[in-house]
């Protein structure tokens, strides 16, 4: 049900929610807290340090003053179990003063993060709440990611109204067999965790989380099975190859020999195309393993036999990288390549589309523009999608429908996809080819955690002196996220720091961020590729699609702030040439679990498994992820659950009893369904 149809949300709040992709009653009901604060029990000071908890004491003194134009309220509380003074401070919260004053010389409970400093003693800054001890009722407090123009109170009230409207989506038979928590209770529990028993917050949440996971995996499985049933695999092949000379010429152009895994994949493609068998293949492997070389070979095979090929990438940066690399080979082989992007203006775009429809281009590279209604092909024989799971099912279909029956299909993915998941994503007919070995001459990237600016500067300088280049990445901070204890290194201050250190020696420093004008950002990246800029300071915009073999070191500031999968993607920006390459994780958190994993292994498959293990179920069903990635992670993390759920999915399809789950997660307002 759409939120406006429910009639429980005002127009201003509706508009704010839509900006966060929240369109339906279920979307808002499932806007879960990002964390929970457990204030059920008052802790003694000896147990409270470095914890967000409740402590109790006698409020002895208080004061209010102005510091740099901001109100600062201070209070000294004598903690009851130790007699120690705890300094409590509120910054920029002048409205709190009357209550603080009213509670003077009484026993109070302070709920917040307790810190200890060897000089300043115990302190709590901007406590979550405070109470007279006689009025205190301990409970678990959910904390939500803020939404602009919606107060916390309004958000919570709106969520509760939506929870009242949701109904059980499972058929009675499935619900009774599974003995799961009912859906409304599960959603309510995740927003209002409560228990009389002395058990952890996680133990309270687990049954509810399990119910949400069941729903989401069932929806994902149903949506894909329903789609696959509409698209029965067609093995008819009219795009047979006879000539292979140009593809052999291409292999001779490569500055390296194919690895065993690459050769195996290429031979398989060639054998099937020669025999008139449709290629329907998923080529997966780690960042930099050489998947693109296999794709290019298949495109050249098609071109020399008179067919067009499309390579579709999820981002403009990645599409442009593929285009430039393909041009460098295609031009020498006599084939024409075009980049079809949203940047093309009216008449220019019309001319390009006309040339494609007349067969003047053999290689067409682009993002979603390649399957737009205005784009048609003369003789499309091969469709290649890079990071295919990042496209919707309908988007992939739209491109394939532009080809004649029997078009060859190759998908590429750096995300490890096990056989069970490949079966539901692509159907059981999809061939799975894994590239495990790095191209000859490539060396694994050496990784280390370090906190010293001076040591990092010295190391970067050594690489620059050898003619190499460096990336310096700064963390992207989520909207309204409070950072209390760790100083975040912004792009702006990092740029100044590196310019001051290196520019006196003739080193050029460039900057790229997501807020820059696209043309300006591309100009900077091009200058970096051409070594006109030696140090590139950026946000995570360089995570995918920037390929500079001469860059041998990447420094990731505040590395503890990044997820494991993202750290691995960023590390993949270096080690793309034959030089020894390095990843420096700058952090004070030396033994952070994610950073230790990064030091231990460069294996993308192992990192993906470890990432799921470390993040836990709460993160997987939360708001941090969306779309196919979340569903895929759940299936990878719980293969046994998936094997059980797919039996229910088959039964529900046969009995035509799947509509409840499908409608529950179906997006409204023209947004793309997460599985479509």
The string of pLDDT tens digits covering residues 565-575 is 788 888 988 88
Q: What is the pLDDT of residues 415-470, one digit of tens each?
A: 767 676 676 666 667 788 888 877 776 778 999 999 899 999 999 999 999 999 99
Common-topology check for domains 245-435 and 446-601: yes
Residue 594 pLDDT exceeds 70 = yes
Residue 675 pLDDT exceeds 70 = no
Residues contacting residue 324 through CB under 8 Å, at least 6 positions apart: none
Q: How confident is the model at residue 403 (pLDDT cuts 50, 70, 90)?
A: low
Residue 625 pLDDT exceeds 70 = no
Helix (H) or strand (E) holding 317: helix 316-333
Give the pLDDT confidence score for residue 99 in this predicted structure: 86
Give the pLDDT confidence score for residue 231 in this predicted structure: 53
Q: Would you tell me how many other CB atoms lie within 10 Å of the CB of residue 667?
A: 16
Are 636 and 623 in contact by the 8 Å Cβ rule? The answer is: no
Between residues 241 and 624, the one the model is more confident about:
241
Are 426 and 276 in contact by the 8 Å Cβ rule? The answer is: no
Look at residues 198, 150, 126 and name the one whose alpha carbon lies nearest to residue 17: 150
Between residues 584 and 348, the one the model is more confident about:
584
Share above pLDDT 70 across residues of the chain, in percent, rounded to a whole number: 86
Give the pLDDT confidence score for residue 396 in this predicted structure: 58
Between residues 221 and 189, the one the model is more confident about:
189
Q: Hey, what are 188's tokens?
A: 């309510």
Residue 79 pLDDT exceeds 90 = yes
Task: Please name the residue that has the structure tokens 């520019």.
Answer: 503
- Domain-wise residue ranges, the chain: 41-138, 245-435, 446-601
Strands 509-512 vs 535-538: parallel, antiparallel or unpaired = parallel
Residues contacting residue 505 through CB under 8 Å, at least 6 positions apart: none
Question: CA–CA separation, 339 vs 531, rounded Å?
Answer: 24
Q: Hey, what are 477's tokens?
A: 């901070």
Task: Give the pLDDT mean for 227-240.
Answer: 60
Dihedral (CA of 72, 73, 78, 81) sign? negative
Pick the CATH number of 245-435 from 2.40.30.10, 3.40.50.300, 1.10.443.10, 3.40.50.10710: 3.40.50.300
Task: Give the strand order in the sheet containing 535-538.
Answer: 446-450, 582-586, 551-556, 469-473, 535-538, 509-512
Residue 344 pLDDT exceeds 80 = no
Q: How many Cα atoms are found within 13 Å in the side-chain-facing hemisphere of 290?
A: 27
Q: How many Cα atoms are found within 13 Å in the side-chain-facing hemisphere of 405?
A: 7
* DSSP structure class, residue 492: H
Per CATH, the number for 446-601 is 3.40.50.300
CATH 2.60.40.1120 fits 41-138, yes or no: no
Residue 509 pLDDT exceeds 90 = yes
Give the pLDDT confidence score for residue 229 in this predicted structure: 61
Give the pLDDT confidence score for residue 447 in this predicted structure: 95
Task: Please name the residue that has the structure tokens 């993915």.
Answer: 413
**DSSP letters spanning 159-189:** HHHHHHH----S-HHHHHHHTPPPHHHHHHH
Give the pLDDT confidence score for residue 668 in this predicted structure: 41
Look at residues 623, 636, 655 and name the one whose alpha carbon lies nearest to residue 217: 636
Residue 366 pLDDT exceeds 60 = yes
Task: Give the C-alpha distances (Å, rounded to integers) separating 259 from 284, 505, 523.
Answer: 14, 41, 34
Look at residues 649, 670, 634 and name the one whose alpha carbon lies nearest to residue 223: 649
Residues contacting residue 130 through CB under 8 Å, at least 6 positions apart: 88, 99, 100, 103, 108, 109, 110, 111
């Amino acid at each position: 049900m759409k939120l406006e149809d429910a009639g429980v949300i005002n127009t201003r709040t509706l508009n704010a929610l839509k900006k966060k992709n929240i369109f339906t009653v279920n979307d808002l009901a499932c806007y879960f807290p990002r964390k929970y604060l457990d204030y059920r029990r008052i802790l003694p000071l000896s147990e409270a340090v470095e914890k967000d908890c409740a402590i109790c004491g006698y409020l002895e003194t208080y004061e209010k003053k102005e510091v740099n134009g901001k109100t600062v309220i201070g209070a000294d509380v004598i903690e009851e179990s130790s007699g120690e003074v705890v300094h409590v401070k509120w910054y920029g919260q002048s409205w709190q003063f009357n209550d603080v004053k009213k509670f003077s010389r009484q026993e109070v409970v302070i709920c917040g993060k307790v810190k200890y400093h060897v000089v300043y003693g115990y302190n709590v800054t901007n406590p979550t709440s405070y109470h007279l001890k006689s009025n205190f009722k301990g409970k678990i407090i959910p904390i939500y990611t803020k939404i602009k123009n919606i107060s916390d109170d309004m958000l919570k009230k709106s969520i509760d109204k939506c929870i009242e409207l949701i109904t059980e989506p499972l058929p009675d038979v499935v619900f009774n067999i599974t003995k799961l928590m009912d859906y409304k209770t599960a959603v309510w529990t995740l927003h209002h965790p409560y228990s009389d028993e002395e058990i952890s917050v996680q133990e309270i949440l687990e049954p509810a989380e399990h119910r949400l996971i069941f729903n989401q995996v069932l929806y994902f499985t149903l949506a894909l099975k329903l789609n696959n049933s509409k698209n029965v695999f067609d093995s008819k092949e009219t795009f047979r190859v006879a000539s292979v000379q140009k593809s052999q010429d291409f292999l001779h152009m490569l500055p390296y020999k194919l690895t065993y895994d690459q050769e195996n994949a290429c031979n398989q493609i060639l054998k099937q195309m020669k025999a008139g068998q449709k290629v329907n293949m998923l080529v997966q492997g780690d960042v930099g393993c050489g998947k693109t070389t296999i794709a290019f070979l298949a495109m050249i095979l098609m071109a020399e036999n008179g067919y067009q090929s499309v390579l579709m990438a999820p981002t403009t940066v990645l599409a442009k990288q593929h285009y430039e690399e393909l041009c460098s080979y295609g031009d020498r082989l006599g084939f024409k390549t075009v980049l079809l992007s949203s940047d093309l203006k009216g008449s220019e775009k019309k001319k390009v589309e006309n040339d494609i429809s007349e067969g003047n281009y053999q290689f067409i590279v682009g993002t979603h523009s390649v399957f737009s209604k205005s784009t048609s092909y003369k003789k499309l024989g091969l469709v290649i999608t890079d990071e295919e799971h990042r496209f919707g099912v309908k988007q992939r279909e739209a491109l394939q429908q532009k080809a004649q029956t029997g078009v060859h299909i190759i998908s590429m993915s750096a995300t490890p996809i096990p056989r069970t998941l490949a079966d539901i994503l692509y159907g059981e007919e999809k061939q799975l080819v894994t590239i495990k070995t790095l191209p000859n001459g490539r060396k694994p990237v050496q990784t280390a955690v370090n906190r010293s600016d001076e040591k990092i500067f010295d190391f970067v300088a050594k690489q620059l002196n050898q003619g190499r280049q460096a990336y310096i990445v700064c963390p992207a901070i989520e909207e309204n996220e409070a950072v209390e204890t760790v100083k975040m290194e912004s792009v702006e201050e990092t740029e100044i720091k590196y310019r001051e250190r290196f520019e006196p020696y003739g080193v050029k420093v460039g900057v790229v961020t997501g807020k820059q004008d696209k043309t300006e950002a591309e100009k900077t990246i091009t200058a970096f590729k051409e070594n006109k800029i030696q140090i590139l300071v950026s946000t995570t915009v360089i995570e995918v699609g920037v390929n500079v073999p001469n860059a041998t070191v990447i420094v990731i500031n505040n590395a503890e702030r990044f997820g494991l999968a993202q750290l691995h993607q960023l590390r993949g920006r270096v080690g793309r040439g034959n030089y020894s390459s390095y990843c420096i994780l700058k952090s004070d958190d030396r033994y952070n679990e994610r950073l230790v994993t990064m030091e231990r292994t460069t294996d993308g498959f192992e990192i993906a498994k470890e990432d799921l293990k470390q993040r836990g179920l709460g993160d997987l069903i939360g708001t941090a992820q969306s779309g196919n990635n979340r569903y895929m992670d759940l299936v990878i993390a719980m293969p046994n659950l998936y094997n059980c759920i797919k039996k229910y999915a088959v039964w529900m399809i046969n009995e035509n009893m799947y509509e409840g789950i499908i409608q529950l997660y179906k997006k409204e307002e023209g947004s793309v369904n997460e599985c479509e």
